[in-house]
Amino acid sequence: MPVPSGAKEGPSRPRPSGSPGRIPRHGMDPAAAAAAVRHRLRDDAEPARNLATFLTTSFEPEAERLHNAYLNRNLADREQYPAVDELVQECVRILGELWRGDHTRVVGSATTGSSEAALLAGLSLLHRWEERAGSGVRRPNLVMGAGVHACWRNFCRHWGVEPRVAPARPGCIGLDGAAAAELSDESTIGVVAVLGGTLDGRYEPVLEIATELDRAAAQSGIDVPVHVDAAGGGFIAPFLDPELEWGFDLPRVVSINASGHKYGQVPPGLGWVLWRDRDHRSRRLGFPVNYLGSNHTYHEFSFSRSAAPVVLQYYNFLRYGFAGYRRIHARSRYLAQDLAERLRATGRFRFLGDGRDLPVVAVTAEPDLKLSQLARQLGECGWAVPVYQLPPDLDELTAMRVVVRSDLHPADVSSFAAAVDQFTRSTK
Ligand SMILES: Cc1ncc(COP(=O)(O)O)c(C=O)c1O
């Protein structure tokens, strides 16, 4: 989420009363400790009613059991858990095929989320540009639309890359082909095209972006690779938008990331990054480690963590299959579009996203309707929804976003829309 310019870090939260801030001298029995923890967390949002998050918030009992059973396996320990490592590779092949790559050639990693995936993909673009450009004093840049997730600015900040951002225009936050080509030059390490924007849920036109870059390459010889940030869309488009061209079938697309823990239906802690083949992944990302036994090469930033999210990703592929994922996401898209229609009927909102791409509804409102007040009112009904400032040059506008996930029910859509309707009537 973009931080409004000039925003300062808030004061640190006061410690809850009764919290001593140090480890107790003696322990307590498990039930008492668990009750104390639950008590401390009691006022946080109820995940299933948190319409701000893209993350999966509900799981079938079988999935929970499987998750718990593999919680104690370290994903990094390829020596002792080679079958887990093979699951990672199998998931990479499955995703490679879903993203229209050659599943015998794609390579990739399980990450903690799309943020780590973006750092890896960005670094690979940077290394490969350095190899192409040779030594020199030019500062590398990365071309992106105004609505990119903060992880891309994070990458640019930490690796000294200029974020070259196309400004948002009325009705459109995303990057288009003309802007991508215009902003790219010989110092461009790559273009990030987003399949499912964080702020609006809309797909950027990856085919158009790739085509314009092809045209620019033919004219100027400047050959700029595309990375697709499909954090949300990587698990939606293959199932719901088979006609859309956005993946490895476009030769200019060198790498793609997605969040397993979003529409991949996995608990928090899993992302994926894939390259179309070994040649398109920087060799310098590989890091040899042998302290666990024999030699292994890691391409991730983080090492030890639970293997359970990867186990669940593979489980989900078996459990749902293509048809199951399609059914789950078609339902969410239907509900998002239904919600958008109900909000449209109030006549008070303008739509940035209406559920046609990601199952996300994002709106701005008439000047006399304060979205922050609406969000507060919805909060009193138990619904958590974010209100945020749009990026430059639309930053005088605020927007509100509802993420529809598989655990939202039609009755929830009705009651949410009724609460919005009641608020809009009270402010007429
Ligand atoms: C387009 C996009 N990219 C990257 C991210 C970061 O994903 P993660 O939370 O999996 O790190 C998000 C998160 O919402 C996103 O919407």
pTM score, whole prediction:
0.94
* CB contact burial 161-170 (16+ within 10 A = b; e otherwise): bebbbbebee
pLDDT recorded at residue 8: 42
Q: Compute the distance from residue 118 Cα to the ligand 1 centre, in Å.
A: 9
Which position has the higher pLDDT, 12 or 347?
A: 347
Average pLDDT over residues 388-406: 94
| pLDDT tens, position by position, 127-162 | 999 999 887 768 999 999 999 999 999 999 999 999
Contact 189, 143 (CB under 8 A): no
CB neighbourhood size of 395 (10 A): 15
| pLDDT tens, position by position, 172-225 | 899 999 999 999 999 999 999 999 999 999 999 999 999 999 999 999 999 999
Q: Compute the distance from residue 149 Cα to the ligand 1 centre, in Å.
A: 6
pLDDT recorded at residue 12: 57
pLDDT recorded at residue 5: 39
Average pLDDT over residues 94-110: 98
pLDDT of 7 above 50: no
Nearest atom within ligand 1 for CA of residue 259: 10
Residue 423 parent element (H or E)? helix 410-426
pLDDT recorded at residue 335: 98
Q: Compute the distance from residue 160 Cα to the ligand 1 centre, in Å.
A: 21
Sheet with 107-111: list strands edge to edge: 107-111, 271-275, 253-259, 226-229, 188-194, 141-145, 162-166
Mutation choice for ligand 1 from 149, 195, 200, 202, CB with most ligand atoms inside 8 A: 149
Token pair for 121: 């993909």
pLDDT recorded at residue 316: 98
pLDDT recorded at residue 290: 84
Nearest atom within ligand 1 for CA of residue 230: 1
pLDDT recorded at residue 289: 87
Residues 6+ apart with CB under 8 A from 234: 95, 98, 99, 195, 228, 256, 257, 258, 259, 263, 264, 272
Nearest atom within ligand 1 for CA of residue 116: 11
| pLDDT tens, position by position, 305-335 | 999 999 999 999 999 999 999 999 999 999 9
pLDDT recorded at residue 4: 39
Terminal C-alpha separation, the chain: 30
By alpha-carbon position, which residue is closest to atom 16 of ligand 1? 198
Mutation choice for ligand 1 from 50, 115, 142, 360, CB with most ligand atoms inside 8 A: 115
pLDDT of 107 above 80: yes
Nearest atom within ligand 1 for CA of residue 54: 14
Average pLDDT over residues 227-256: 98
pLDDT of 19 above 90: no
pLDDT recorded at residue 6: 37
pLDDT tier, 76 (very low <50, low <70, confident <90, very high otherwise): very high
pLDDT of 34 above 70: yes
| pLDDT tens, position by position, 327-340 | 999 999 999 999 99
Question: In the chain, what are the domains?
Answer: 67-318 (3.40.640.10), 325-422 (3.90.1150.160)
Q: Which residues approach ligand 1 with their CB closer than 6 A?
A: 54, 113-115, 118, 149, 151, 194, 196, 198, 229, 231-232, 259, 271
Average pLDDT over residues 47-68: 95
Q: Compute the distance from residue 213 Cα to the ligand 1 centre, in Å.
A: 25
- What is the percent of the chain with per-residue pLDDT over 90, rounded to a whole number? 86
pLDDT of 56 above 90: yes
